[in-house]
Chains A and B, each alone.
Chain A
């Protein structure tokens, strides 16, 4: 056949060509094998980089609402992640290490007198340096949340038993609960494992992005002071004295009867609303809850006109409606919102707190959009 003629007619030639092809194959595979460690490392680096890119996108669309576009946190809403505290950077670390080494040397009887004087001078120097850093760190106390320069690692303070990666990832999986001594509004579970919307690999992308904020030894005091909010340390339940504070409870008729004897302070109400109680965390976003702006107008013009609402109130006043909707938030839901508001305010608020809150909300009388 012609085709056969074109290609090695003699069996010897076929054998030689086949052997050459086989040897060439082996040579190429060997060459690939030699280069494999480099290729695998490069793939890993490239994959991590692209994972960070995807994480950045996911963070921007899902996390910035609470943690800020720069990841430095939002007051009263969520703590900064782009923060030396999360990564456990110790601003005194280098100084303290040197100090303890020098002190050990001082305690060593073999140290010469000459060296001892040297060490003493250095120790004084170090103390001055430490004090200087302390002075620069002093303003950190104005930032809300918990931060102590002497104990600068979030993971250590939590006695966390695993890596930072897993700390951030598990937080994404199950979110964070809310309570009166913790955050005012919860962090949702974000990963499907915990019932959230994102896939596990997307969670890993977000963690890779967050961990990319780490500056290692290069964190500066300015980075720390740029943080808007530190994590809250939950109040130790053992230190809470119970029984001496009278809370309002959930009996709306009784609350409404009692309220007029308290003079509400709108300024104090605003502080509670935006800070400790964390109301603003949700009521600043019309997708989650009714906006703070125009609350009073809506109460007067819409809610009180609604027969369903009227039936639930002991008297038809704006104050009664607000008191009712704060202590029993799920008994009436403003469409289209769901039952997401914390229902424990009755057990948290004193009459004065409630009167302050209502006074503040009365000032929200912007026209309805």
Chain B
């Protein structure tokens, strides 16, 4: 309710509403964190509750329908959380929901999928209509349904009572309503005081967590034109994303989750054996554990690290420069501002085994790039009307000009000793290039730091290497065990260069993620 006061569901202002909540509303961040953490906790607790019910077989007669209404509640809880995901209108929100919604698009036949997708997103892509729909789902429809089904669920719970632990009952009996008077637990005062206590304790735990350990993420403004590398669905839908990597979109994205849900609904009517004791439920428990393991494995497969192949240069660049997302950020970002001394540094300095040779390695590289390259050797910068670069130095500078970085000369220097964190990043850079030395054949990297404005520096990172044959993300090796170098029509290796740049402001306060 309180957050709604400051929120308007429109792509123009949703994100600035978030900023206002964070910067101008006292306790705004606290409320947002609590809301987010509470939502995650609700998903976890509801799932655990379902798991407990399954393990103690509390779904058995006469509580089959209680279980079915519970399954509805689980689904609604997930959707409540999912529909809230989009509302901040940041990159995380937009892309997580885009993935989720495109699963719906796969529903066969095509006409149904397309129209379901249009209904949910309010257009082919999520825009103003989609945001409004998700907002209404989140604050109106799903809570209303949740309210109704919670009523049904509770009604059934009161009607049949809580099931007793299996071992306290005879097989096939339901004695919840026949507990002797002196052993019964009454709502007033026992359950009530317990519940109040638990509300107090869990709220305290949540508050402690949001004060010191958890903050709701807020990434950059949603941008439909730029997909961040490593986009994933919300974690509780990762299992579907993982399943999707197995193949057919319809089979794994639609049929598999639907079958799974139907299976959950009918389970109490299928497993009608009277005994609730573990020893008598070996098959059922096995099925349950197999399903749980599958879900865990699928969820792991849903992570961006699994099964998505990026080329080595892209991966390394991303590791160095990525903007904060999913609790990660490029390792260059948290380097203290004073350590970003303007200059041109290279991975070669850190590629030598003996640190005393570092300076000479840098000097050797400078000589290498300043040497004349023969006329036949290809350049990666072919600009109409401009004669090909005479040296590699010039070639790289021509490329950097296309990145709007004017350089008069390339002259690498050793990284300053007074900048240990910058040195550590360069060392990591060199290490990663070495790890991919087959794909980035004869590869080396450069980091160029320039001061753009007072309090603002620009960092350009580039990798230079010789192109090798890569198939399905794997380097192809020749008979000699060496990577096959790709050659141009003159039989010369083809040079490659990839560069990226970020800007760092003195007050940006990027902090290294915990544990890195």
**A residues near B, CB below 8 A?**
1, 4, 7-8, 11, 14-15, 17-19, 21-22, 24-25, 28-29, 31-33, 36-37, 39-40, 42-50, 52-54, 56-57, 60-61, 64, 69, 199-202, 209, 212-213, 215, 286, 291, 293-294, 366, 369
B204–A21 CB distance below 8 A? yes
Given A11-B189, A57-B503; A17-B197 close (CB under 8 Å): yes
Nearest neighbor of B26 in chain A, beta-carbon distance:
A36
A33–B455 CB distance below 8 A? no
Q: Cα distance A57–B502 when bound, in Å?
A: 7
Given A53-B502, A69-B404; A14-B27 close (CB under 8 Å): no
- Known: A14-B194, A17-B200, A18-B196; 13 extra A-B contacts, CB below 8 A, are A14-B193, A15-B197, A17-B197, A18-B193, A18-B200, A21-B201, A32-B27, A46-B507, A49-B508, A49-B509, A69-B405, A201-B221, A209-B453
Q: Cα distance A1–B203 when bound, in Å?
A: 24
A212–B197 CB distance below 8 A? no
A220 to B: closest C-beta gap in Å: 13
Q: Choose the segment among B14-22, B271-279, B373-381 that binds chain A (4+ C-beta atoms closer than 8 Å).
A: B14-22
Nearest neighbor of A293 in chain B, beta-carbon distance:
B385
B207–A49 CB distance below 8 A? no
Given A32-B30, A43-B22, A49-B509; A56-B456 close (CB under 8 Å): yes
B193–A11 CB distance below 8 A? yes
Residue B498 is within 8 A (CB to CB) of chain A in the complex: no
A43–B29 CB distance below 8 A? yes
**B residues near A, CB below 8 A?**
12, 15-16, 19, 22-24, 26-30, 165, 185, 189-190, 193-194, 196-197, 200-201, 203-204, 207-208, 211, 220-221, 223, 384-385, 403-406, 452-456, 458, 501-509
A273 to B: closest C-beta gap in Å: 18
Interface Cβ pair total, 8 Å cutoff:
129
A199–B221 CB distance below 8 A? yes
Given A1-B165, A43-B22; A52-B197 close (CB under 8 Å): no
Given A18-B196, A200-B12; A56-B201 close (CB under 8 Å): no
Q: In the assembled complex, which residues on chain A have CB atoms less than 8 Å from the CB atom of B223? A: 199
Q: Cα distance A164–B81 when bound, in Å?
A: 43
A200 to B: closest C-beta gap in Å: 7
A24 to B: closest C-beta gap in Å: 6
A49 in complex: contacting residue of B22, B458, B507, CB < 8 Å? B507
B343 to A: closest C-beta gap in Å: 18
Q: In the assembled complex, which residues on chain B have CB atoms less than 8 Å from the CB atom of A49? A: 455, 505-509
B23–A213 CB distance below 8 A? no
Q: Cα distance A15–B197 when bound, in Å?
A: 7
B337 to A: closest C-beta gap in Å: 10
Q: In the assembled complex, which residues on chain B have CB atoms less than 8 Å from the CB atom of A209? A: 453, 456
The 20 listed contacts between A and B (C-beta, < 8 Å) are A4-B194, A8-B197, A17-B197, A28-B204, A29-B30, A33-B26, A33-B27, A36-B27, A49-B455, A49-B509, A50-B505, A53-B456, A56-B456, A56-B503, A57-B502, A202-B221, A209-B453, A215-B454, A286-B384, A294-B385
Q: In the assembled complex, which residues on chain B have CB atoms less than 8 Å from the CB atom of A53? A: 456, 502-505, 508
Q: Cα distance A201–B19 when bound, in Å?
A: 12
